[in-house]
Amino acid sequence: MAVLEASAARRSNWRKRRARSWWLPTSDRDRADLCRTAGADVAIDADVESLLDVVRERTAGHGADVVIDAVGGDLFEQARRCIAFEGRIVIVGFTSGTIPQLKLNQLILRSFTIMGVNALIVLEQYPEIHREARRAVVDLLADGAIAPLIGSADPLDQLLEACAALAADGCKAKPWSWLRRADSSSGGHVRGRR
């Protein structure tokens, strides 16, 4: 889940809005530290701190302008309660395993919007939009505006151990694997993301 706060000057125009700060709730202190390393302005250990309380305190009661929710469950309920007037919640998944319920009157009380995004449908039915979004991400990477954290870079023969760590929630960042070329005399290797 990512919580964004827009600058006050941009609150009046959604199209020109850029995040002033990114806040990331996590499931433990180590992940919170990792989020700060990756550039989060605020990282919240959701097992210890309340997302609702932190957002209300840090925004002087204004609330979050945008929430990108891949978690669902209890964090969605906290996000719903801390969303700003005319804010947006974008649902992209339910990694908590719990699909939250919403009473529609809550939309009216805070005048906020909830939107679901399914990247697979965009890829299959609107490939030009997916291509444009992918190109924008690659441009951000090339410009150094974003840099994914690499948790491990392992040879392919350790793939099973890496998958076990991923399944056990032991990976704090993206794992990568690499393959040796068939012609090992070159000494090179080919990287590929898991």
What pLDDT was estimated at residue 89? 93
CB atoms within 10 A of CB 56: 16
Residue 90 CB neighbours (<10 A)? 16
pLDDT band at 123 (very low <50, low <70, confident <90, very high): very high
Distance (Å, whole) CA 152 – CA 143: 23
Strand partners, 176: 153, 193
DSSP assignment of 88-142 equals EEEE---TTS------THHHHHHT-EEEE--HHHHHHH-HHHHHHHHHHHHHHHH
For residues 78 and 56, the answer to whether their CB atoms sit within 8 Å is: no
pLDDT at 27: 73
Contact yes or no for 28/36 (Cβ under 8 A): no
* From 100-104, 162-166, 176-180, 188-192, the region with the lowest mean pLDDT: 188-192
175 φ/ψ angles, rounded to the nearest 5 degrees = -85, 145
Q: Are 12 and 30 in contact (CB under 8 A)?
A: no
Q: Has residue 114 got a pLDDT over 80?
A: yes
CA 156, CA 191: separation in Å to the nearest integer? 10
For residue 121, is pLDDT > 70? Answer: yes
pLDDT band of 15, cuts 50, 70, 90: very low
Report residue 25 as tokens.
């709730």
Whether 67 contacts 20, CB under 8 Å: no
Give, as one character, the DSSP assignment of residue 71: S
